[in-house]
Chain A
Amino acid sequence: MAKLAISSEGPDLDEALDPRFGRAAGFIVVDPQTLEFDYLDNGLSQAMAQGAGIQAAEHVANSGAKTVLTGYVGPKAFMALQAAGIRVAQNLADMTVREAIEMYRNGKVKWARQPNRRGHGR
């Protein structure tokens, strides 16, 4: 089963989903069936002067995830994720990582065709 990457405020399934993609605290990379997961720290992207979104997209692509669940994805990160063949569900907020996985399993997430904000530096 293809893995999901979910932007997360911490290393646990019950952490809040981080609405930021590029400057998320980290990513939970999870198998949605078994709920086995790894935590990918994104601290270095957070501190970057520019290009945090692209950096985060690289992290996620290298993790093998084929799906991203998150809040806001900037245009450049979105292009990068698309290039890596990763599907994006965005505009998620006010929920835990576990709840986001549940939404995904119930087929309730919508796939984005374009970035939701013209981002810059966030």
Chain B
Amino acid sequence: MKVAIASGKGGTGKTTVSASLAASWQRPLVAVDLDVEAPNLHLFLRPEIHGDEKAYMEIPVADESKCNFCRACVDICQFKAISILGSVLMVFPEMCHGCGGCLAVCPEKALTPGQRELGHIIWGAAGSTGFLMGRLRVGEAMSPPLMRQVKARLNAMIQHAETDVVIDAPPGVSCPAVNAVMDADVIVLVTEPTPFGLYDVSLAYGAFLPLGKPMGIVINRAGLGEDTIYEFCRSKNLPIWAEIPFSRDIAAAYADGGIVAQASSELQLTFDELVESIIDAHAEHQEVLHA
């Protein structure tokens, strides 16, 4: 089972919940940080790192001496990554989305595969929990290609074992966020009871609903702002799986890099119940699917 921890808005406690969930999970688990622009899960799980590899995307490299200026590559490229100016063939590597179209259409083999660095894929273990993350290179604009490679690595890691997965997804509802949750079996939406939190979680709910996956809410900093989030959950029939009370102690524990579930026995209980709710929601959904 794959569980994605998402949030419409950044800073609601998505990583806090991911880390605590990973620490409370009773079955074999890999925790994955797919928030590759701002990966933070490792700061709380503090895994022992076993490997660190650079990830690359295939891009074209031009050999002008072979080019007959037929413009087939220029015509197929939707991203303006190749240009012919007079008698010069130019590649703009950072524009390339890695679709391979130009390489496939060039009749003269004037374009050959090269590489652009996307960032790093890092893996390891925090106790018995497997750990995997992507970290986007500063200056790299596209995160989905790196996320795809992290997901491919994840699938290789869990192929042979009955292992569950907790995914720390990017915030928002843009392409990278949807990319991170679309392979999950269950989606946990983390929000806070403020106008921003409500607005953003309603966007996320709308974005993820078409995926047809069981969803539940975790309200972080409960008691902080206002109660409209509860009305929203009722009206959408969205279960509230956990509430983490607003307290300075919790905020300070987080600030010092602590795992919130371990801050008190009440909180540990909250997260144990969250784990159960997720497992139950998944089982229920499977039954509906197979009925």
Contact = CB atoms under 8 A, between A and B. Distances in A.
B85 A51 contact: no
Interface string A73-90: 000100111011100000
B70 to A, nearest CB: 16
A67 interface: no
Contact of A50 (B79, B83, B84, B86): B79
Interface in A79-116: 79-81, 83-85
Interface residues of B, number: 13
A21 to B, nearest CB: 14
B141 interface: yes
Contacts, number: 41
A55 B77 CA distance: 12
A76 B88 contact: no
A85 B88 CA distance: 10
B141 A54 contact: no
Contacts of B80: 48, 50-52, 54-55
B97 to A, nearest CB: 9
Interface string A36-62: 000000000000111110110110010
Q: Chain A: interface residue count, which band? A: 10 to 19
B230 interface: no
B92 A61 contact: no
Contacts of A58: 83-85
Nearest to B77: A51
Nearest to B74: A58
Nearest to A76: B92
A61 B88 CA distance: 11
Contact of B88 (A50, A52, A54, A84): A84
B81 interface: yes
Given A51-B80, A51-B81, A54-B80, A83 B90 contact: yes
A95 to B, nearest CB: 27
Contacts of A48: 80
A4 to B, nearest CB: 17
Given A76-B92, A76-B95, A120-B141, A54 B86 contact: no
Contacts of A51: 79-81, 92, 95
A50 B83 CA distance: 13
Contact of B86 (A49, A52, A79, A84): A84
Interface in B85-126: 85-86, 88, 90, 92, 95
Interface centre among A55, A80, A120 (most CB of B within 10 A): A80
A62 to B, nearest CB: 9
Given A83-B88, A83-B90, A120-B141, A57 B95 contact: no
Interface string B154-174: 000000000000000000000
A48 B78 CA distance: 10
B85 A80 contact: yes
A49 B83 CA distance: 16
A79 B88 CA distance: 11
A62 B79 CA distance: 20
B95 A61 contact: no
Contacts of B83: 54, 57-58, 80
Nearest to B78: A49
A61 B86 contact: yes
A58 B83 CA distance: 8
Interface of B: 78-81, 83-86, 88, 90, 92, 95, 141
Given A50-B79, A58-B83, 10 more contacts: A48-B80, A49-B78, A49-B79, A51-B79, A51-B80, A51-B95, A76-B95, A80-B83, A81-B85, A120-B141
16 contacts: A48-B80, A49-B79, A50-B79, A51-B80, A51-B92, A51-B95, A54-B83, A54-B92, A57-B85, A61-B85, A76-B95, A80-B83, A80-B90, A83-B86, A83-B90, A84-B88
